[in-house]
């Protein structure tokens, strides 16, 4: 299983945004939607062995986490507008303490970054993606892998501190600073090549 955790530092948690304003009013939700696309879409199918966690930290209802579960997903299309609509629909649901299902394969909870990491650390190896990490090509990877990355902003010092408690390694994907969705494509490609 491959998992990706992306922190949306300003991403809206209220659902109170227009579908044609995901870059502005929704707090750069466009970055997160592209991450969802890169995580799941192959040319003619969806990767079923992938799970994505969008940690939304903007707006009055923060934090919230939207979880996309590849083997249950339906109605996910490559266009950003329809994914924004699925996310908005999830955010408009009434969420109390427990995670709830908003639509097939899409879940919403009030979990924070730290709570998600604590959960995930029980079932896999957490890896921090960062420009100055160890080259991924020099690292042996196996089992259930969980990759953590920022949106258009890097992780804050506090987020790095929380992650350092759980992550086993910091990995670099190459010599440039890449967009988050491109990082996910690179990881998927690397794991595909290794047959993982």
Ligand X SMILES: C[S@@+](CC[C@H](N)C(=O)[O-])C[C@H]1O[C@@H](n2cnc3c(N)ncnc32)[C@H](O)[C@@H]1O
- Binding segment (CB under 6 A) for ligand X, from list 22-30, 70-78, 118-126, 169-177: 169-177
Among 115, 144, 154, 160, binds ligand X (CB under 6 A): 154
Q: Is residue 150 involved in binding ligand X (CB under 6 A)?
A: yes
- Binding segment (CB under 6 A) for ligand X, from list 12-20, 42-50, 81-89, 146-154: 146-154
Structure token digits, residue 33? 């939607």
Q: Is residue 77 involved in binding ligand X (CB under 6 A)?
A: no
140 class by beta-carbon count within 10 Å (0-12 exposed, 13-18 middle, 19+ buried): exposed
Among 114, 125, 152, 160, binds ligand X (CB under 6 A): 152
Spatial distance between the Cα atoms of 56 and 65, rounded to a whole number of angstroms: 6
Q: Is residue 149 involved in binding ligand X (CB under 6 A)?
A: yes
Among 115, 121, 172, 190, binds ligand X (CB under 6 A): 172
Spatial distance between the Cα atoms of 105 and 89, rounded to a whole number of angstroms: 13
CA distances from 68 to 60, 133, 152, 195 (A): 23, 27, 20, 23
* Closer CB to ligand X, 34 or 111, in the complex: 34
74 class by beta-carbon count within 10 Å (0-12 exposed, 13-18 middle, 19+ buried): exposed
Among 39, 56, 130, 167, binds ligand X (CB under 6 A): 130
Residue nearest to ligand X (CB): 150
Among 38, 57, 109, 180, binds ligand X (CB under 6 A): 180
Q: Is residue 164 involved in binding ligand X (CB under 6 A)?
A: no
3-class DSSP assignment, residue 36? helix
Strand 167-172 and strand 125-135: the pairing is parallel
Structure token digits, residue 111? 């979990």
Among 3, 173, 181, 185, binds ligand X (CB under 6 A): 173
- Binding interface with ligand X (CB under 6 A): 129-131, 133, 149-150, 152-154, 172-174, 176-180, 183
């Amino acid at each position: 299983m491959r998992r990706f955790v992306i922190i949306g530092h300003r991403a809206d948690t209220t659902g109170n945004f227009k579908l044609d304003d995901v870059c502005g009013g929704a707090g750069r939700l466009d970055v997160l939607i592209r991450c969802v696309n890169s995580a799941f879409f192959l040319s003619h199918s969806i990767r079923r062995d992938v799970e994505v966690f969008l940690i939304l930290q903007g707006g009055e209802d923060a934090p919230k986490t939207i979880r996309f579960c590849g083997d249950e997903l339906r109605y996910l299309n490559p266009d950003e507008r329809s994914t924004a609509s699925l996310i908005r629909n999830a955010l408009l649901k009434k969420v109390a303490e427990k995670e709830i299902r908003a639509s097939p394969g899409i879940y919403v909870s009030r979990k924070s970054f730290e709570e998600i990491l604590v959960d995930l650390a029980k079932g896999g190896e957490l890896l921090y993606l960062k420009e100055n990490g160890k080259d991924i090509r020099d690292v042996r990877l196996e089992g259930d892998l969980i990759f953590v990355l920022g949106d258009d902003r890097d992780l804050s010092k506090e987020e790095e501190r929380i992650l350092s408690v759980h992550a086993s390694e910091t990995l670099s994907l190459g010599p440039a600073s890449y967009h988050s969705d491109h990082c996910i494509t690179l990881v998927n490609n690397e794991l595909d090549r290794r047959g993982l």
